[in-house]
Amino acid sequence: MSALLDVEDLAVRFRSDSGEVTALEGVSFSVAAGETLAIVGESSSGKSVSALAIMRLLPPAPACRVTGRIRFQGRDGPISLLDLPERAMVAVRGGEIAMIFQEPMTSLNPVHMIGRQIAEAVLAHEGGGKTAALRRAIELLDLVGIPDAARRAESYPHQLSGGMRQRAMIAMALASRPKLLIADEPTTALDVTVQAQILDLLRRLQAETGLAIIFITHNLGVVAEIADRTLVMYSGQVVEEAPTASLLAAPLMPYTRGLLNSVPRLEAALRPGQRLPAIAGNVPDPRHRPAACTFQPRCDWAQPDICGVTRPGMERVAEAHLVRCARWREIAV
Amino acid sequence: MARYLLSRIGQSLFLLLIVSIIGFALLHLTPGGPLSQFALTPGMTAADLHRIAHEMGLDQPLPIQYLVWLWHLLQGDWGRSYRDQEPVLAIIGEHLPATLELMASSTILAVIIGTWVGVLSAMRRYSVADYLATIGAMVALSIPTFWFGLVVIYIFSVSLEWLPSGGIATIGNGSVLDLARHLILPCVVLALVTVATWSRYMRSATLDVAAQDYVRTARAKGLRPGQILRQHILRNAMLPMITLAGLQLPTLLGGALVAETVFTWPGMGRLFLDSLGYRDYPVVMGLLMVSAILTLIGNLAADILYVVFDPRVRLA
Ligand SMILES: Nc1ncnc2c1ncn2[C@@H]1O[C@H](COP(=O)(O)OP(=O)(O)OP(=O)(O)O)[C@@H](O)[C@H]1O
Ligand SMILES: [Mg+2]
């Protein structure tokens, strides 16, 4: 299988007055054409930074240094994103890899009409005239299920509901038929019914266009619904990767198990006042990460003489199941 | 929108009333009234002075004097100058265009340069150019206008003899080139402070907008940096600047007063100082009202422009 996107040993370091922060370390994964890969993990585990690194939207050096390799199967053959000159990268952004964000309200420019903002993306990649681009923008709005698209194209972001705004963002992302869409928590800011509609829309678009999606989320319920494979991140590293079904059925990394336990289930509805079983403790400060296993201070399975000594590497458990845990064999049984 | 405008106009009228009361009181409470000017005339007796004061209504209690003045003003009668009996409105009308010319040209100059410097500083934050712009603005803000005016006169008029040291035109020469040559120095001197303020605010507005999510979206959809700057950053960064322009008007008027004095520019500022010296109350009050009206109109225009340029307010 030749992957559409192949990330290898990605590391991101931010430099600030108070020293260097390693936001990401040794991150490797790949995305096949047409598949959906979910990335889950607690806040500040490095999900957004991974996405922004692929898009090359992180601050420039020396404030931020990105190392590793990101290969992408472009229209004109394979390209290495981190080596691409900025001018060429501009064509990749939105052209071959598109991205949508968590807050559709702030992610759209408040002073321009929706149609115009979409047409801009069309013009940037497809060329042609302004009128043609606007017409295409209306088509795209129609495609993402915005009723009365021609009139809606003349709305400003604040005149649309949250769900409509996210649809408009998706329309913008589809402007030049990208092969990969990175969606960074696209439904987190929306209420539940709208969330479901947006997920449906993404699935439909994927079926129609063969789009691959990297779907970043906190929400394991969403993962179950949309993702073929899932990547679990913790403290700047990938700690488990597996087909979604096996990950949910048989998680190996204690952190993944903790995440799954913290999901409220319908059958075990919480009594009033009962709190969600969260994972005890906090994510380590990236400046003072344990040299050994980063999850070990919070882990029920931790054995100081093993887990506190060396940092485990990613181990292959099954065909497509990888885990970063020294004790996965014991956990598996 | 219409209701908003009406309420703003109502507010402005109320402000004008307050300004006129305070101005009138301050003016009349200042020691040495218009009579002291007449007293200098040889052969003037105390009885004469008394008669003149009575004719001018200056022997009335202050509130009555104010109400009389206001009553006339409301009927469109701004009074006559004590000096030459010319109608106040005509005198101000003669001097207003010169001031407007100076203010408009220096504002245009300042906005162009200030915007450019501010955006450049923001886009190249912490670069040498940014530091130079910061230091330059500090220096510009700490140089008194009259001192800077005298220095440029010394350099460009006295030493180099490139430009005239004052006046609005050479008598008998009304060519555009002559007008422009006279305009350059006062325009630059008046623009200095505005450039400094404007560039600072522009820098922070640009930085603020550049960090917004929608600018990241613009980058993510593959726009070129120039496009992002023009269509997404500048368009939004100009919004707070519109308000600033309105708020800066009084400062600009104050600066114009000084610049006009230094460059013997025949505008309202000169007229104001001259009239104040003569205790020419009607003219001084007239100038006060005109300045206040200009400022209020400027602010109102800024508010309206803001509404026009921000769909969130326009369509709320
Ligand atoms: N521009 C930046 N400068 C410095 N540090 C940053 C920057 N962006 C992110 N980081 C750091 O990188 C780490 C990972 O952040 P990231 O935004 O990827 O988290 P996340 O997994 O997306 O979290 P969330 O679920 O809250 O969105 C955090 O420790 C964060 O503080
Ligand atoms: Mg994030």
Question: How far apart, in Å, do the first and last CA atoms of chain B sit?
Answer: 10
Q: Contact at 8 Å (CB) between B115 and B194?
A: no
A103 and B218 in contact by Cβ < 8 A? Answer: no
Residue whose tokens read 């020294």: A326
Break chain A down into helix, strand, coil percent, rounded to 5: 35, 25, 40
User: Residue A147 is encoded by which pair of tokens?
Assistant: 């009723």
A55 and B227 in contact by Cβ < 8 A? Answer: no
Domain boundaries, chain A: 1-96+181-289, 106-177
What's the half-sphere exposure (Cβ side, CA atoms, 13 Å) at B105? 18
Cis peptide before B144 (omega within 30 of 0): no
- In terms of CATH architecture, what is B98-309? Orthogonal Bundle (1.10)
* pTM for this entry: 0.86
pLDDT digits (tens), chain A, 333 positions: 579 999 999 999 999 888 889 999 999 999 999 999 999 998 889 999 999 999 999 998 889 999 999 999 998 899 999 999 999 999 999 999 999 999 888 999 999 999 999 999 999 998 889 999 999 999 999 999 999 999 999 999 999 999 999 999 999 999 989 999 999 999 888 888 898 999 999 999 999 999 999 999 988 888 998 999 999 999 999 999 999 999 998 888 989 988 888 766 544 444 555 555 577 777 788 888 888 888 888 888 888 888 888 888 888 988 889 999 888 888 877
Task: Give B-chain residues touching A94 at CB under 8 angstroms.
Answer: 220-223
Question: What is the least distance, in Å, from the CA of A196 to any CA of chain B?
Answer: 23
User: Residue A1 is encoded by which pair of tokens?
Assistant: 């299988």
Judging by DSSP bridges, how do beta strands A64-74 and A5-16 pair with one another? Answer: antiparallel
Determine which residue's CA is closest to atom 10 belonging to ligand 1.
A23
Q: How many residues does chain A have?
A: 333
- pLDDT at site B90: 92
Distance separating alpha carbons of residues A217 and A43, to the nearest angstrom: 10
Distance separating alpha carbons of residues B261 and B80, to the nearest angstrom: 23
B216 and A101 in contact by Cβ < 8 A? Answer: yes
Reference B66, options B15, B33, B30, B22; nearest CA is B22
Reference A196, options A216, A173, A226; nearest CA is A226
- pLDDT at site B217: 96
Residue B220: closest C-alpha in chain A:
A93
Determine which residue's CA is closest to atom 22 belonging to ligand 1.
A48
Domain boundaries, chain B: 2-74, 98-309
- pLDDT at site A303: 83
For the stretch B79-128, pLDDT in tens is 888 888 899 999 999 999 999 999 999 999 999 999 999 999 999 988 99
B217 and A CB contact within 8 Å: yes
> CATH says A1-96+181-289 is which class?
alpha beta
Reference B130, options B120, B139, B138; nearest CA is B120
A residues 71..90 contacting B (CB < 8 A): 90
In chain B, % of residues over pLDDT 90:
46
Residues having CB closer than 6 A to ligand 1 are: A 14, 21, 23, 41, 43-49, 59, 218, 286
Which ligand is located closest to the Cα atom of residue A49? 1
Alpha-carbon B254 to chain mean position: 6
Greatest CA span in chain A, whole angstroms?
A: 68
For the stretch B228-256, pLDDT in tens is 999 999 999 999 999 999 888 888 888 98
- pLDDT at site B50: 84
Distance separating alpha carbons of residues A304 and A327, to the nearest angstrom: 12
